[in-house]
Structure 1
Amino acid sequence: MESGTLGYGVRVNCIYPGLVPTAMGAGLATDVARIGLFASPEEAVGAVVVRTPSGRLGEVGDVADAVVFLASDAARFINGVGLPVDGGMGM
């Protein structure tokens, strides 16, 4: 809000990604299995997929497309938002 009211021309938005099969996503699945929330990383991933209305994990491109949109002129009047890119899981 401060950047906008001071006229810096800076937009500040963020992305809330769902689980994406990257090194970070695999690490999260491993961590939750290690602390006993799931029997295995694969079970943890399966639980996420089952709870995601889109029925799948995200892909790197899903998140990248949202970032490109928010950085583009198409989003020039969007400022201060958090955009879930999680297949509907956060709803």
Structure 2
Amino acid sequence: MPSVDTLKAFEDLKAAELTDIQAKAILTVVKEAYETGLEKLATKSDLKDLEIKISNLEAKIEQVKFDLLKWFIPLLLGQAALILALLKLLKS
């Protein structure tokens, strides 16, 4: 990331007929805003970590889907068998 060239910016502000105090105040605000913005940027390492976490979550979601189906299908079959048995019992 390029840094803020404060000397050139100061000279530009002075050329625009600002006082030293005004130019310094403006540059202080700009520099603080720039540095604060840099702190909040994600690095490639941050993005890679996030990709890994997302991948792990996707794997966990797939496992949960499988586990739900593993329990849900036998329950449906058991319920169907129970209903058929009750219907057969009621008919006789």
Bin the TM-score by the shorter chain: under 0.3
Structure number having the greater strand percentage: 1
Normalised to the residue count of structure 2, the TM-score between the two structures is: 0.26
Normalised to the residue count of structure 1, the TM-score between the two structures is: 0.26
**Structure with bigger RCO (C-alpha 8 Å, 6+ apart):** 1
Structure number having the greater helix percentage: 2
